[in-house]
Amino acid sequence: MTALSSLPTPDETLRLVLFDCDGTLVDSQHMIVAAMRDAHAAEGLIAPPREDILSIVGLSLPEAFTVLSRGRADYPVSVMVEAYRNAFMRLRDAEPPEPMFPLARDTLAALRAEPDVLMGMVTGKARRGVARVLAAHSMEGWFTTIQTADDAPSKPHPGMVLQAMAETGLPAHRTVVVGDTTYDMEMAKAAGAFALAVSWGYHPQGDLLAAGADLLVHDFADVPAAINQLVRPALQAAG
């Protein structure tokens, strides 16, 4: 994370782009589903269907397991959180790092080179999981602000976005959240930021639009143009 004293002075063109991680930057569904199945098996429980598991990606673990419990009083949420963490760590050490989606790294590199763009991350991952992804793909130091499940309430609470804006000194009308789940869209709108949905992740496109997505893109290479399409009119109106 960049020290605040080294951040550029905000001007009329600077914008903040906050990326979700799982399902947006990296395809982690194989490890998530496998860890969820292992965790349930370890506790003698039947794992939910794959689509139910992917539907809670993006939430922090306690909230994710609360959703999966479907209100059952006998479902051990806190036990499952630890069982999942243990299973995921075992898989993490045995499996290759989560792969990035096509053109993701190239697009991030291009955005990073833009003088009027600050990149950040808002993710339900723990900070150590983020560090592993960044190291695996040689992206340490690429993100000015990183907000994780360790630092803020779970999505769709706007805390991660609000903290990122506070750290960088940029307002909501210059901030775009890029994500693949309804939780990302709801979080962005609750913070007053723009919501840019991607179609290659884990939630259906119709659900993303219903959750408030301002735009939907189908290719990572289209992300920069979509960011400009969202922010430019707001900058002109503010100016």
Catalytic residue ranges:
20, 22
Give the closest residue to 200 by CA, choosing from 121, 102, 132.
Answer: 102
Residue 173: CB atoms within 10 A of its CB come to 16
Distance CA 8, CA 209 (A): 34
Q: Is-contact 91 31, C-beta < 8 A?
A: yes
Q: In sequence order, what DSSP letters do the residues of 104-138 get, joined into one string?
A: HHHHHHHHHH-TTEEEEEE-SS-HHHHHHHHHHTT
Round to whole Å and give the CA distance between 22 and 10. Answer: 29
Joined tokens for residue 119: 């990149």
